[in-house]
């Protein structure tokens, strides 16, 4: 995924009210921008981090700029705009960059499925005509080289795992794809210390045949692409 126009670089002063961040672009005043990340953003939004923002060029928007990327004090890149995750994953799936899913075709985004009328991030067709359901989760919580998901208790994430189990029971492939969007992370685990129920459901899902993969992103102010696979450490494995 390439950014259509150059991002504007500044320094983060603070993130607040979940959706707002104050950025110093060095022009003599502080600019409030939209923060498209509703998560805890632990370790991703410290004052003083470098920040890159896109410009909507829409004068009707209250906050015209959107916070896209951060770089921490150790020069690690972080994708702040987690809404980019599905696009990045989708490009990799369609280009067959992810080897474990390279035989799947006809990828479609945001298709309704399941008993609760949810939307799967990506739906593909397997060689035997069955479907492949892929749920994408962006991972930005880093503790050293270890990455964790979620960064807060996620009832929505728990529901997605239960629905993937149902799809597997119906004979389809069901995949949880952790998209790592923090350059420090080299392996991924469900965050049992944050959401033990989610971690337990990951183990139940794996036992039911749900597949778990993690891929690392290559991040710069020009583009974000899928780089290479990482290890997923599931509870009890």
Tens digits of per-residue pLDDT, 107-143?
A: 999 999 877 778 999 999 999 999 999 999 999 999 9
Q: Tell me the mean pLDDT in the region 86-98.
A: 97
Res 113: pLDDT: 87
d(CA 78, CA 63): 21
Interior angle at CA 164, CA 153 and CA 203, nearest 5 = 60
What pLDDT sits at residue 237? 61
Asked if the model's pLDDT at residue 36 lies above 80, the reply is yes
Locate the DSSP E strands across the chain.
8-16, 20-24, 30-34, 50-55, 65-71, 77-79, 105-113, 118-125, 131-139, 141-143, 146-149, 173-180, 187-190, 211-219, 224-232
3-34, pLDDT tens digit by residue? 999 999 999 999 999 999 999 999 999 999 99
Is residue 17 within 8 Å of 31, Cβ to Cβ? no
**Residue 174 near residue 165, CB atoms below 8 Å:** yes
pLDDT at residue 115, rounded to an integer: 74
d(CA 90, CA 120): 12
Contact (CB, 8 A) for 211 and 172: no
Residue pair 23/13 in contact (Cβ under 8 Å)? The answer is yes
Q: Among candidates 37, 208, 155, 179, which has minimal Cα distance to 101? A: 179
Per-residue pLDDT of 203-233, as tens digits, reads 999 999 999 999 999 999 999 999 999 999 9
Predicted TM-score (pTM) of the model is 0.95
- Residue 143: both structure tokens together: 């503790």
Cβ count near 119 (within 10 Å): 12
pLDDT band at 99; cut points 50, 70, 90: very high
Give the confidence band of 52 by pLDDT, cuts at 50, 70, 90.
very high
Which among 16, 21, 76 has a CA at the least distance from the CA of 43?
76
Q: Is 223 left (phi over 0), alpha (psi -120 to 50) or beta?
A: beta
Contact between 234 and 214 (Cβ < 8 Å): no
- pLDDT value at 83 more than 80: yes
Q: Find the mean pLDDT for residues 40-63.
A: 94
Q: How far apart are the first and last CA of the chain?
A: 34
pLDDT for position 236 = 74
Residue 201, classed as helix, strand or coil, is helix
Question: What are the pLDDT digits (tens) for 150-166?
Answer: 999 999 999 999 999 99
Output the pLDDT for position 127: 96
In the chain, the domains with their CATH numbers are: 8-79 (2.40.50.580), 82-232 (3.40.1350.60)
Contact 81, 36 (CB under 8 A): yes
The C-alpha atoms of residue 207 and residue 147 are separated, in whole angstroms, by 22
The whole-number pLDDT of residue 177 equals 98
Q: What is the mean pLDDT of the chain?
A: 96
Residue 211's pLDDT is 98
Q: What percent of the chain has pLDDT over 70?
A: 100
């Amino acid at each position: 995924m390439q950014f259509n126009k150059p991002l504007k670089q500044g320094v983060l002063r603070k993130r607040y009210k979940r959706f707002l961040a104050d950025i110093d672009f060095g022009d003599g005043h502080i600019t409030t921008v939209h923060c498209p990340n509703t998560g805890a953003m632990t370790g991703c939004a410290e004052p003083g981090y470098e920040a890159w923002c896109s410009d909507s060029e829409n004068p009707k928007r209250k906050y015209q700029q959107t916070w896209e990327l951060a770089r921490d004090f150790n020069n690690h890149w972080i994708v702040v705009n987690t809404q980019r995750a599905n696009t990045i994953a989708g490009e990799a799936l369609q280009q067959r960059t992810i080897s474990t899913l390279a035989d799947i075709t006809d990828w479609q985004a945001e298709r309704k499925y399941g008993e609760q009328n949810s939307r799967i991030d990506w739906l593909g067709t397997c060689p035997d005509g069955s479907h492949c359901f892929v749920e994408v989760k962006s991972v930005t919580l880093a503790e050293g080289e270890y990455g964790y998901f979620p960064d807060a208790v996620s009832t929505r994430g728990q529901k997605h795992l239960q629905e993937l189990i149902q799809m597997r029971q119906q004979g389809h492939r069901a995949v949880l794809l952790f998209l790592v969007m923090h350059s420090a992370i080299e392996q991924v685990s469900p965050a049992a210390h944050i959401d033990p129920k989610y971690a337990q459901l990951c183990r139940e899902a794996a036992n039911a045949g749900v597949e778990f993969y993690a891929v690392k992103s290559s991040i710069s102010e020009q583009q974000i692409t899928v780089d290479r696979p990482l290890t997923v450490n599931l509870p009890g494995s």
